Structure 1
Amino acid sequence: MTSRERILQQIKLNKPAETLLPETTRFDSLYENTEDKFIETLTAIYTEVIVVKDYAALAQKADELYASVVNRATTIPALGNWADFSLNNPDPHALEMIEIAILQAEFGVAENGAVWISDAHLPHRALPFITQNLAFVIPRNAIVNNMHDAYERLQDTTGWGCFISGPSKTADIEQSLVIGAHGARSLVIFLLEDA
């Protein structure tokens, strides 16, 4: 028997006993009104929240907010006529010209104002990070209390996704806050009633 075989045999004989994984500790944060907490959190982090009845009202509000903006992109079919920038280009570098992107997100998290977006609704992963201004549309009834609830929703999802909360923010050592230095300069969340 070679020394290699002896070492491997000793490893096989000296396996530690199996141990169970620890129980998951759950921190419940049941807000009296999840939507109010979501809006409060987002307002504190420089995000505007707008409730719209349906996709027609969303299109009207998008026209109103972004009337003078060019290079508008969206992944929402109901806003197809509103958009003037095609996302069919396979090169993500072409996205740097987008001024506003309105994207479908799956749900929001009340405790931190984050929204979950996945590649199920996103043709380019770079899109929410490269656009100058960003807006998400989520169903009004799709707001969970906390990240524990959020991760329970993510059991069967696509291959990629991320939580995004508020516009890009950074500060230097003198605590001068800069909005939009490393991503979107503004964020709007549309809560869709009839989703």
Structure 2
Amino acid sequence: MKNILIAICTLLSTGIFAQNEVNEYLSKLFLGLDLHTTFHNTAMKSSLNFTYGVNRGINFHDEDGNSISTNTNMYDTDFTKNPLIDSVIKKGKISIIQNDQEIKSGNFSISESIWFLNPDDLMNEYYLLCSLLETLGYRVRKESVQNDNFETKREITEISLRDGDKKSTLSIGYFMPQKKQKIKEYLLSITYNNH
């Protein structure tokens, strides 16, 4: 009986430690945002200077005649430093997004876009973040798109996370510019969904 109790306590402490590690990395990745509060409080409690806006969608009616709104509420801000990124950031933008349909459930997403000066920095940061964060999830899925010459144009790693009984998804992806583009933008995209 004593051995069973010790095993249960060990498992519980390991789970709590792992969850604290997930929260610590996500907090750093999203510049200190509180991911466990409401959509509006996530922006309001932040030390970052967000601007609020609403993208108006088209309202329509369901089969019962109820009006359904398709507006998207958004907080945006720019940044140039991230504690988990060592390379020089050309430009960074973070958005907290909630559709009208998500208000009742309290779900929202955070989108972080980071532009780098060159493809080497982009690839290094993508692989470092993936190797760091993949170990924290219970499921990892990768998707890549190649051009006709079998060169990867983009790759996305989706990491499924658990926080108690709540689930969330973290997607990390890179997008390479086309060779014919005059202005080359090397984009790292990170999206967190708390569903």
Q: Could you say which TM-score interval applies, normalised by the shorter chain?
A: under 0.3
The structure carrying a bigger strand percent of its residues is 2
TM-score norm. by structure 2 comes to: 0.26
TM-score norm. by structure 1 comes to: 0.26
